[in-house]
Amino acid sequence: MNLTHDAMLVTLRIHGWSGRRYDRKASQYVAVHHDAATSAGRYNKRLLPKAALAALNATLNEARKTHYHHSLPWDDLGARLLPVANYERYTTALDSLIERMVTERQRFIADYDNQVERARLDLGRLFRPDDYPSREELRGRFSAHYRIVPVPDSGHFLADLGQGESDRVRRDIEQHVQQRLNGALGDLYRRLGEAVGHVCERLTEDENGKAKVFRDSLIDNLRELVDTVPRLNLFRDRHLEALCKDVREKIARVEPDMLRPSAPGKYDPAVRRQVKRDAADLAAHFAGYFGPDRAVPHHAEAA
């Protein structure tokens, strides 16, 4: 694996507006009328009806989730590792969501004055015009953009150092990079293991012996994950590849209704029993990686 050739770093910046405001006077009023200390609580007003920001916030949240889904952890400053193999999927998904955010922002701002008037009725004497940003200010409050840069090569930092110091710094950088790569690989094992564990949990019966309810997304999310993991596996970890294949063939290929007793004509009890066993076996397999003092196995091919 040539990290500077096979991957890049991506940073996503999302800005939003909560639509809430701390009201000091209301907090003091509540404290006085309940013989409480002013530090006992805070009154935070919802400045707009909840539905006003729902679509816009949902789009921003989906962008954040998509960013994490299509990339790997890297550093504590917000940068994540994006394999070249997943570049197109990442940029296509994020560009679409950012475009949707712009549309939702325009729709929200166009209806902003009406929402403020509704809030005036909802808040009564708690309404204060100064709590509300202008329409122009709101355009700057909501934004989302990503930035992609190359993974720095250790040689970039060593040009002005003497040979002895250069060797020491290079070793430190390479060790740090290896730790980050181990964390990124572990993240893939954890993602897959948690998704399989969730399937395993939902296919168990409740305390009354009845099948638990689950949504199609239980399997749909797993299908998306087993499609994404191979593109993120820039380590070419053979064991992860094999596990991903097992999850795809034993669980993700099954239609959700075949696992639901509440889906007459489609439910297959034999399939449910088999998937339940396979999910339990795979969940136990993944759990073995993350017990005390256990490291993620690394079966990568030679770079």
Q: Is the pLDDT of residue 296 over 90?
A: no
pLDDT reported for residue 164 = 57
- Contact by Cβ (8 Å): 48, 116: yes
Q: Is the pLDDT of residue 280 over 90?
A: yes
Q: Is the pLDDT of residue 206 over 50?
A: yes
**Rounded CA gap, 260 and 242, in Å?**
28
Q: Show the tokens assigned to 218.
A: 């239980």
**Rounded CA gap, 222 and 158, in Å?**
44
pTM, two decimal places? 0.85
For residues 261-271, average pLDDT = 93
pLDDT reported for residue 303 = 41
pLDDT tens column, 229-247 = 999 999 899 999 999 999 9
pLDDT reported for residue 302 = 41
**Rounded CA gap, 30 and 17, in Å?**
26
pLDDT reported for residue 130 = 94
pLDDT reported for residue 266 = 95
For residues 19-33, average pLDDT = 91
For residues 59-73, average pLDDT = 97
| Burial track 197-232 (b if 16+ CB lie within 10 A, e otherwise) | bbbbebbeeeeeeebeebeeebbebbbebbebbbbb
Q: Is the dihedral of CA 256, 262, 263, 267 positive or negative?
A: positive
Task: Name, in order, each residue with C-beta under 8 angstroms of 273's C-beta and a sequence gap of 6 or more.
Answer: none
Averaged confidence pLDDT in the chain: 89
> Percent of the chain scored above 90 by pLDDT?
70
Q: Is the pLDDT of residue 13 over 60?
A: yes
pLDDT reported for residue 293 = 43
pLDDT tens column, 70-120 = 999 998 888 999 999 999 999 999 999 999 999 999 999 999 999 999 999
3-state helix, strand, coil in the chain (%, to 5): 60, 10, 25
For 75, 100, 151, 183, 302, the CA distances from 176, given in Å and listed in that order, are 10, 38, 13, 11, 20
> Percent of the chain scored above 70 by pLDDT?
88
Q: Specify the DSSP element, H or E, that contains 21.
A: strand 20-22
pLDDT reported for residue 285 = 86
Q: Is the pLDDT of residue 221 over 50?
A: yes
Task: Name, in order, each residue with C-beta under 8 angstroms of 51's C-beta and a sequence gap of 6 or more.
Answer: none
- How many residues in the chain? 303
For 19, 104, 128, 213, 256, the CA distances from 109, given in Å and listed in that order, are 13, 9, 19, 39, 40
pLDDT tens column, 131-176 = 999 999 998 899 999 999 998 775 554 445 455 555 665 677 677 7
